[in-house]
Amino acid sequence: MLKLHTRLHALTPSLSSSLRLGSTTDSASPILRAALSSLRSLTRRSRSSDLVGHRAFFCSDSDSSGDGSDRVVHVDSKAVDSEGEEAESKSSSAIVPTNPRPEDYLTVLALPLPHRPLFPGFYMPIYVKDPKLLAALQESRKRQAPYAGAFLVKDEPGTDPSSISGSESEKNIYDFKGKELLNRLHEVGTLAQISSIQGDQVVLIGHRRLQITEMVSEEPLTVKVDHLKDKPYNKDDDVIKATSFEVISTLRDVLKTSSLWRDHVQTYTQHIGDFNFPRLADFGAAISGANKLQCQQVLEELDVYKRLKLTLELVKKEMEISKIQESIAKAIEEKISGEQRRYLLNEQLKAIKKELGLETDDKTALSAKFRERLEPNKDKIPPHVLQVIEEELTKLQLLEASSSEFNVTRNYLDWLTALPWGNYSDENFDVLHAQQILDEDHYGLADVKERILEFIAVGKLRGTSQGKIICLSGPPGVGKTSIGRSIARALNRKFFRFSVGGLSDVAEIKGHRRTYIGAMPGKMVQCLKNVGTANPLVLIDEVDKLGRGHAGDPASAMLELLDPEQNANFLDHYLDVPIDLSKVLFVCTANVVENIPSPLLDRMEVIAIAGYITDEKMHIARDYLEKSTREACGIKPEEVEVTDAALLGLIESYCREAGVRNLQKHIEKIYRKIALQLVRQGASNEPAIVEAQVVEPEETLVGCADESSQKLVESETRAEPVEDSSHEQTAETSVEVDAVPTDLPADQPSDSKDVTDPKTIQESKPTKTVEKVVVDTSNLADFVGKPVFHAERIYDRTPVGVVMGLAWTAMGGSTLYIETSQIEQGEGKGALNLTGQLGDVMKESAQIAHIVARSILVEKEPDNPYFANSKLHLHVPAGATPKDGPSAGCTMITSLLSLSMKKPVKKDLAMTGEVTLTGKILPIGGVKEKTIAARRSEVKTIIFPLANKRDFDELATNVKEGLDVHFVDDYRQIFDIAFGDDQKTGK
């Protein structure tokens, strides 16, 4: 730096003593080049590194050359070798002449510049968003006329230029067209050579000043221009020389502090041509950090002396900014060292966050925020909770903001103050309103609706709400979760759901201790914070699938949550203050109640949802599922018709499970295929190149699918080529899709044409009507595939040794046959083999049935030694399905007796019941499921244990309608019903 200072000071007296400016540019250029050489020496050390990856374009102004010709110098950074300067000199001396000359262009495209004006001798990349303008630039470049006018855009009247971002200004530029854009452009601009176009990026090289005279065309904006030249000036004028030397001196001083300026000077001085006073002014203004209006003022100034003065002001201002920057940096460096620097940065970060409103660590602000939360419900907060909050607030003021305990306390206060202490939502105790909402959302489920109405009635009489624990049990898809949502809507309570299926961490229920890293409250505290009320409806899903892991037993942890005697003082490990959950209505869901731990089940009120019979499924499918699915698929009701027979076939052959979730999936599948068919049909009716259409009577356009498909086949055999058309058109433009939608492939209508009388052909528009799609039993398989289930009745009349039993499954009720066959017979060979993947309980039931059957046979036919001398095989079909349970005992006995007496059982008979060794019939479970299974199998007579008579009487009328039911307590009564003459014993 000292060497540079000495060289520049030594240069000044020689400039003042020997400067003799003549009338030509050549006499001035060597002196200025000598001055700039000192600036060039500052940047030699970083030349090769600065040029890597950059590309600079410079051209000489025609005003400054003696012969009036323009020279463009293209410099590519790839040609610069840091090892030597030979390649650099070759690159800088590469001169590419342009023909025709720039001064020949008097009409140019107007390019708006949003940020800064383009000065002669400099390049500027811009992004052109207007496709028409970009196309015009590319076209002009192809025509060997790569020139355009670059004009700065004026700011909007009444706006501060410094407050408008670059993206906003660019956006506003392309909103204007024609005269509106012309009015927004400065009159004086620059003739720019289009160096390259890559995508929407255009690289411009400035040549000379232009002034707009008039507009030629609007899109893209084209204007007539005058080429401006600098006003004549005296190159021997001492004032101009002094001003130019002051500019150079100031540039030298700025170069000491700003590396950015060094890059500009290094690149410019290496590759510029002749350097004179006007170019010095342009150079200083172009690389300064002045705003665009000041730069435009320099561009518009044609007086060289005034332009130099303006440039001198700009570079002086840059010098002052550099001095201020240097003084600020020096002052800060003196204060900052080590921990002080880190502290200052933290304080700056806090100040920035506070100004932006993102976050503040100010203790007073935090305390004010927490107290502001408490103010609305302060009277409702329990005194012991208020005391804890006040203690924590006091503790917060004493802690350092950088300590870990501060964050723990702040998070703790955040949770304590966010809970809705004593804030209850207004409940709706209108029983009729609740009944209406429950009926809107669900069909049937009388038991569940009755229990909810009872809950509302008790709340209305007491005048206050109460918390209860209801457990909805039933197979998947019966609507347990959606019932919870409907109950919340009927009661006007907030709804919150969380699933505990597979939950193995007690902390999810009771929360973590605050001392743990990342501690969080339990699900109930999170629920209260989210809903904002203390009496929500909380749906605990899949409560029968609670896990148990190394982190404790969540089922035991939920006892305090669900126990009405304990949850008034529920204690979360994180909050460590009692919370009143007595007003919360808990609704749990489970598939199998037996999997719920007994202590937890004891605190619940179980409401069993057995499932839906066929009639109920029909109503649900028609009134709920089909309507919602049709709306979700965007299909209009008049476009589709799903017949009752199709729905019935769908329910009986595809969706026999107790719930309706699978039924909904199949209905969605049908409507998706219908939607695709309607879209294809509509696409085939859209106008392609239709020249003629066959006009037929309406009667011929209506017919069944078989007739229409037959016509289509006939039309294919009679197809002939049509002249002047590359595609064959269909003659029949309307074919009703009545039954089989897959008879007409998407491309079939466009590949055939009927040969008709030309007199019947007239020009018309193609129809766009989409035919109504009818789904019936005949085409149901086309939508949902082959039937999954077949008739459960394998036999019209059961043969000897075969009896139908009733079973319960997780998916609802089911019927299954029990078959017995004789393997071999011989004296003393009495034995029983079992197959069908039976469980231990069912194997024991078979052994008991064998003993009871022998005793019954001895009573009825004392002389029959069948069981003593016969080896029998008892099988339960569907061997891949595991089976267990005691309720098949009476069915097995009946099967064995039927085989032994060679007598089939009564037609359309099914039975269930557990049998003891003495022949007594014990009660069974799943009465409703088994009754539904019997109705589905078209059973007329059912045998139930007498102990289940009350369960059957409580069933809905439509479930037990048309069934002949017998209730027995001894197997001998079953014998009389199964093999007797239509006796009604025990009914």
How far apart (Å, rounded) are the C-alpha atoms in residues 747 and 712? 12
479 labeled binding residue: yes
Question: 431-608: CATH homologous superfamily?
Answer: P-loop containing nucleotide triphosphate hydrolases (3.40.50.300)
The per-residue pLDDT for range 524-554, each reduced to its tens digit, is 999 999 999 998 999 999 999 888 777 678 8
477 labeled binding residue: yes
Give residue 759's pLDDT band: very low, low, confident or very high (50, 70, 90).
Answer: very low
Q: What is the DSSP letter of 79?
A: G
- The average pLDDT across 758-775 equals 57
- CA angle centred on 947, ends 941 and 949, rounded to 5°: 50
How far apart (Å, rounded) are the C-alpha atoms in residues 782 and 788? 14
Return all residues near 258 (Cβ < 8 A) that are at least 6 apart.
318, 322
Q: Which residues of 144-172 are buried (b: 16+ CB within 10 A; e: fewer)?
A: eebbbbbbbbebeeeeeeeeeeeeebbeb
Give residue 261's pLDDT band: very low, low, confident or very high (50, 70, 90).
Answer: low
Give residue 88's pLDDT band: very low, low, confident or very high (50, 70, 90).
Answer: very low
What's the token pair of residue 483? 């019932």
Q: Note the pLDDT of residue 39.
A: 52
Return the higher-pLDDT residue of 333 and 603: 603
Question: What architecture does CATH give domain 802-979?
Answer: 2-Layer Sandwich (3.30)
Q: Note the pLDDT of residue 917.
A: 92
Give residue 65's pLDDT band: very low, low, confident or very high (50, 70, 90).
Answer: very low
- The average pLDDT across 684-696 equals 43
% of the chain beyond a pLDDT of 90: 20
Find how far residue 402's CA is from the centre of its chain: 38
Q: Note the pLDDT of residue 185.
A: 82
Q: Note the pLDDT of residue 455.
A: 85
Q: Which residues of 279-288 are buried (b: 16+ CB within 10 A; e: fewer)?
A: bbbbbbbbbb
Q: Note the pLDDT of residue 264.
A: 65
Give residue 899's pLDDT band: very low, low, confident or very high (50, 70, 90).
Answer: very high
> Is residue 303 predicted with pLDDT exceeding 60?
yes
Establish how many alpha carbons lie within 13 A of residue 244's alpha carbon, considering only the half-sphere containing its beta carbon.
Answer: 29
What's the token pair of residue 589? 């869901």
The per-residue pLDDT for range 632-666, each reduced to its tens digit, is 999 988 889 999 999 989 988 888 888 899 999 99
**pTM for this entry:** 0.52
159 labeled binding residue: no
> Is residue 161 predicted with pLDDT exceeding 60?
no
Give residue 33's pLDDT band: very low, low, confident or very high (50, 70, 90).
Answer: low
245 contacts 12 by C-beta, under 8 angstroms: yes
Q: Of 13-27, 89-103, 743-757, which has the strongest mean pLDDT?
A: 89-103
Least confident residue range of 297-301, 575-579, 829-833, 839-843: 297-301
Least confident residue range of 17-21, 306-310, 809-813, 818-822: 17-21
Q: Note the pLDDT of residue 356.
A: 77
167 contacts 129 by C-beta, under 8 angstroms: no
Return the higher-pLDDT residue of 491 and 750: 491
- The average pLDDT across 288-311 equals 76
- The average pLDDT across 119-147 equals 80
Residue 524: what residue type? M
Question: 3-class SS at 352?
Answer: helix
> Is residue 910 predicted with pLDDT exceeding 80?
yes
Q: Note the pLDDT of residue 13.
A: 36
Find how far residue 838's CA is from the centre of its chain: 47
Q: What share of the chain is helix, strand, coil (3-state, %, to 5)?
A: 45, 15, 35
> Is residue 716 predicted with pLDDT exceeding 80?
no
> Is residue 511 predicted with pLDDT exceeding 50?
yes
- The average pLDDT across 778-787 equals 90
Return all residues near 872 (Cβ < 8 A) that are at least 6 apart.
820, 821, 822, 823, 831, 832, 833, 850, 896, 899
Q: Note the pLDDT of residue 712.
A: 35
Which residues are catalytically annotated?
Answer: 887, 930
Q: Note the pLDDT of residue 889.
A: 93
Return the higher-pLDDT residue of 969 and 985: 969
Q: Which residues of 178-200 are buried (b: 16+ CB within 10 A; e: fewer)?
A: eeebbebbbebbbbbbbbeeeee
Q: How far is CA 224 from CA 83, 107, 207, 210, 318, in A?
A: 49, 4, 17, 10, 37
360 contacts 350 by C-beta, under 8 angstroms: yes
Q: What phi and psi, each to the nearest 5 degrees, are found at residue 59?
A: -140, 155
Residue that is written with structure tokens 């024609």 in the block: 178
Q: State the CATH class of domain 107-155+173-227.
A: mainly beta
Q: Note the pLDDT of residue 260.
A: 64
Return all residues near 236 (Cβ < 8 A) that are at least 6 apart.
20, 21, 22
125 labeled binding residue: no
Q: Note the pLDDT of residue 536.
A: 92
What's the token pair of residue 276? 């004179």
480 labeled binding residue: yes
Q: Note the pLDDT of residue 281.
A: 73
Q: Note the pLDDT of residue 16.
A: 34
> Is residue 469 predicted with pLDDT exceeding 70?
yes
Question: 3-class SS at 24?
Answer: coil
478 labeled binding residue: yes
> Is residue 187 predicted with pLDDT exceeding 60?
yes
Q: Note the pLDDT of residue 96.
A: 43
Residue 409: what residue type? T
Q: Note the pLDDT of residue 897.
A: 93
Q: How far apart are the first and last CA of the chain?
A: 118
Task: Tell me how crowded residue 435 is: count the other CB atoms within 10 A of its CB.
Answer: 16
CATH of 612-678+771-790, one of 3.30.70.1290, 3.40.50.970, 1.10.10.10, 1.10.8.60: 1.10.8.60
The per-residue pLDDT for range 403-439, each reduced to its tens digit, is 888 889 989 999 999 999 888 888 888 899 999 999 9
Residue 529, class by beta-carbon neighbours within 10 Å (0-12 exposed, 13-18 middle, 19+ buried)? Answer: middle
Residue that is written with structure tokens 């730096």 in the block: 1
Residue 183: what residue type? N
Q: State the CATH class of domain 238-329.
A: mainly alpha
% of the chain beyond a pLDDT of 70: 74
Question: 3-class SS at 656?
Answer: coil
> Is residue 813 predicted with pLDDT exceeding 50?
yes
Least confident residue range of 287-301, 381-395, 653-667: 287-301
Give the residue from 567, 530, 534 showing the smallest Cα distance to 423. 534
> Is residue 38 predicted with pLDDT exceeding 80?
no
Q: What phi and psi, each to the nearest 5 degrees, are found at residue 901?
A: -95, 0
Q: Note the pLDDT of residue 376.
A: 81
881 contacts 944 by C-beta, under 8 angstroms: no
Q: Where are the domains of the chain?
A: 107-155+173-227, 238-329, 362-414, 431-608, 612-678+771-790, 802-979
- CA angle centred on 336, ends 331 and 341, rounded to 5°: 135
Q: Which long-range contacts (CB under 8 A, 24 or more apart) does 334-339 make?
A: none
Q: Note the pLDDT of residue 336.
A: 66
- Three-state secondary structure of 384-428: HHHHHHHHHHHHHHHCCCCCHHHHHHHHHHHHHHHCCCCCCCCCC
Question: 3-class SS at 681?
Answer: helix
Question: 3-class SS at 185?
Answer: strand
Least confident residue range of 154-163, 475-484, 751-760, 819-828: 751-760
Give residue 942's pLDDT band: very low, low, confident or very high (50, 70, 90).
Answer: very high
862 labeled binding residue: no
- The average pLDDT across 596-610 equals 88
Structural element, H or E, at residue 150: strand 147-152
Q: Note the pLDDT of residue 708.
A: 37
- The average pLDDT across 188-195 equals 83
> Is residue 683 predicted with pLDDT exceeding 80?
no
Q: Note the pLDDT of residue 770.
A: 63
